[in-house]
Structure 1
Amino acid sequence: MKQVTVTEHLLLHQKESPMATGRFTSMFNELILAAKIISREVNKAGLVDVLGLTGEVNVQGEAVRKLDDYANAVLIHRMQRAGVLCAIGSEENADLIEIPDHLPKGDYILIFDPLDGSSNIDANVNVGTIFSVLRRKEKSECAARLCEVLQKGYEQVAAGYFLYGSSTMMVYTTGRGVNGFTLDPSVGEFLLSHPDIKTPERGKIYSVNEGYWSFWDEATREAVSYFKGSDNERGKPYSARYIGSLVADFHRNLLYGGIFLYPADMQDPKKPKGKLRLMCEASPLAFVIEQAGGAASDGERPILDIEPTELHERVPLFIGSKRDVEKVVEIYRKHKK
C-alpha cells in the first residue's frame, strides 16, 4: 500500500485549497520538524533531565515544567525562522512574540500551546502540542499588532495538534476535513493513517473532572447528570473517561465519539470562565471537531463565533459529538430563562 506523507498530502491538496500554498507548506514543514524534536525529548523523559519544574511561573500563574520550557523554546526558535510568520503567540508567553528584524517575515500568525497536559508528564501520560494558524488581513512590513491577531475561530486557515504517546500523531485541518498522520520512527516521516476522520454524531463517553462538582452551577450539574444517568438518548450511562490532558481526552473522543467538558468554576476566583484558553486550546480544537462533524460551545455560543478580546482569554468548553454538545447547550439555555 502506498504511504502518503503529510507533505505529499499538503501538496496534493494545493489545487483544492487556496491556503495550501508553497509558503504555507514550508511553515507546516517547520512546525513538523519542531514536533519531531519535542517528540524525541518526550520519549526520553525518564532518561534525561527534562522532568520536574523549572522553578518559574508562566503568565497563567502555573508552575512551568522543564519540558514545557523546552517545547516552547523549540517552537519559537524554529517558527521565527520559518520565513512566513509575522507574529507568534504561546500559552507560556504573556505577550506576542515578534519576528526579529533580521529574519524574513510573512503574513501568517501562529498561536500554540507548546505542551498541553504537561502536568502529567512525570507519570508518562499522553501530552501534545496544539496549534492554530491565522492570516494577517492586511499586508504590512511592520510587526503585527495584537488587534490583528485577535480573530474569531472561524477565520483560522489551519489548526490541529501533535499527540505524543504510544505513537506520535499529527491531526490537522485546513477547513476541508480532518486527517491524521502517524510518525514512523524508522523513516522519520508522518504517514497518513487516519484519512478523513469523522466523529460519531452521538458519543458514548463523557470526560470531565467531577472533583469540581461543588464549584459548578445547576446547569452544569444537570448536564453532567444527563451523561451519567439513563434518561438520555442512549438509554444508559455514558462511560466516564478523564485523562486530565485535554489533547489526549479530545483525541480519544474524536475517534470514538463523546464529549469533553470544562465548565466555569463559579466558586473559584481563579477560573470564573474555566481554565482553558480560547485562542491556543479551545478555538483550534473547535475548528478540528467541526470539520469532523462535531461541535464546540461555551454553553451559549459556538466557540468559533467568539471574538477574543485578549491573547490569553479563558472560556468554558463543551466539545465533541454534535448531539451531545447540542444537549449541553439546550440545558444551559433552559437555565438562562
Structure 2
Amino acid sequence: MIEVFNAISNIAITIEKDVFQSCTDFLDTTKSDEAIHQDVYEHCRRVIESEFEKVKSVKGAMGKDKKQLCTINNDGKYLVSYVAVDNIELLDVDFSLGSMFAIYENEFNAQSLKASIYITYGPTFQIVFASKSEGVKFFSYKHGELIQKESFELTNKGKINSTAGIQSQWSSKHKALIQSFFDEGYRLRFSDSLTLDTHQILFKKGGIYSSPATTSNPDGILELIFEAYPIAFIMELVNGEAIDGERRILDIECTEFHQKTPIYFGSKYEIQHVKEFLK
C-alpha cells in the first residue's frame, strides 16, 4: 500500500503545480468553460495514469468523469477510483479544490475498500490518508515536502452544518432537520467542494454534512464508488458515521459504476439526530 500512497503523493504535487499554481495556463478566454474543464481533466488523467503505471500492485484506475477502466497491470490487485478535480467549476475563481482516491482490492465494492485518500489544493495543500491498518494520517506540504501532522478524531458533537442541494427541492423532513441544527446554534459552512467540506468537519472535530435526496435527484448526487464509499470509510475511522438517511453507507451494495446515494456524515450525535428526523 505504501507504493500506492507514494504514487498519489506524487500525483498531488504535480496537479498542485500544474493546475493550481499555474491555473492561468488553462484559463484560455477563447475557450468555453466546458473545453477548459476537459483540458484540465485530460491533463490530470494523464498525470494519474502515468504515475500508477510505475506501481506493480495497481491493476487499473477509473475516473469519475469518464468511468472507463484503464488497465495498468494485469497482475496487480488494486483498483483505484478517483475524482481528478472536485467541482472544477470553481477553478477560475481561485478557490481551494481537491482530488479523491479510493483503493479497492480486485473489485469495486465497499467490502473491498482498503484505503481512502483525499487532497486539498491551493492555500491548504494537504493530504489525508486512511486505511484500517494505519488509521487516518494527515500530511501538510511545506518547503517541498510532505510533513505528517497530528491526526483527527471527531468529538461526539460538533457545530458545523454543511448542507448541499437546492433548498426548494428538499423534503419537508430534511428542511426541518436542517432548521433544527440551526436552532441548536450550528454554523453554516458549505463550499460546494466535497473534499473541502469533509476536511472542514475533520479539522473542526465534528459537525454534519448532508447531501439529501431532492425532487430532481431522488437517488442523491454523490457516487458510491468515487465519493460516498471513500468518505464513509474515513468518517468511520475518525469516530464518525455516514448513512444515506437510514442505512450505513458501507452496507449499501453497488451494482453499477454510476450508482448514486444521498449521504449524511459527521459526528455520532448529528447522525443520530438525522436518523430520528428521517425515520
TM-score, scaled to structure 1: 0.76
Displacement of 1:41 in angstroms is 1.8
Q: Which residue of 2 aligns with 1:198?
A: 153
Q: Does 1:179 align with 2:127?
A: no
Larger radius of gyration: 1
* CA distance in 2 between partners of 1:265 and 1:160 (Å): 28
Runs of 4+ in 1 over 4 A off after TM superposition: 50-54
Displacement of 1:68 in angstroms is 2.9
**Which 10-residue stretch deviates more, 115-124 or 238-247?**
115-124
- 1:309 to 1:104, Cα distance in 2 relative to 1, 3 A: closer
Which of 256, 263, 266 is the aligned partner of 1:310? Answer: 256
* CA distance in 1 between partners of 2:128 and 2:104 (Å): 17
Residue type matched to 2:227 in 1?
Answer: E
Q: Which residue of 1 aligns with 2:173?
A: 219
1:33-112 to 2 correspondence within 5 Å?
A: 33-50=10-27, 55=34, 64-99=37-72, 105-112=75-82
- CA contact under 8 A between 1:228 and 1:237: conserved in structure 2? yes
Q: Which residue of 2 aligns with 1:241?
A: 189
How many residue pairs were aligned? 275
- CA contact under 8 A between 1:50 and 1:66: conserved in structure 2? no
* CA distance in 1 between partners of 2:124 and 2:89 (Å): 20
**Which 10-residue stretch deviates more, 45-54 or 27-36?**
45-54
List runs of 5+ in structure 1 lacking aligned partners: 1-23, 57-62, 137-147, 230-235
- 1:33 to 1:105, Cα distance in 2 relative to 1, 3 A: farther
Q: Which residue of 1 aligns with 2:214?
A: 265
Displacement of 1:50 in angstroms is 4.8
* CA distance in 2 between partners of 1:93 and 1:223 (Å): 35
Q: Which residue of 1 aligns with 2:120?
A: 163
Displacement of 1:330 in angstroms is 1.8
* CA distance in 2 between partners of 1:181 and 1:226 (Å): 35
What RMSD, in angstroms, separates the aligned Cα atoms of the two structures?
2.0
- CA contact under 8 A between 2:84 and 2:100: conserved in structure 1? yes
Q: Does 1:25 align with 2:13?
A: no
* CA distance in 2 between partners of 1:134 and 1:94 (Å): 15
* CA distance in 1 between partners of 2:115 and 2:32 (Å): 32
Q: Which residue of 2 aligns with 1:274?
A: 220
State the identity %: 27
- CA contact under 8 A between 2:164 and 2:212: conserved in structure 1? no
> C-alpha offsets along residues 175-222 of structure 1, whole Å, 9 cap, x if unaligned?
1421100112x2x32110133x10221110101146x12211122112
Residue type matched to 2:115 in 1?
Answer: A
> C-alpha offsets along residues 240-279 of structure 1, whole Å, 9 cap, x if unaligned?
111111110110111212111111112x1xx221211111
Q: Which residue of 1 aligns with 2:102?
A: 132
List runs of 5+ in structure 2 lacking aligned partners: none
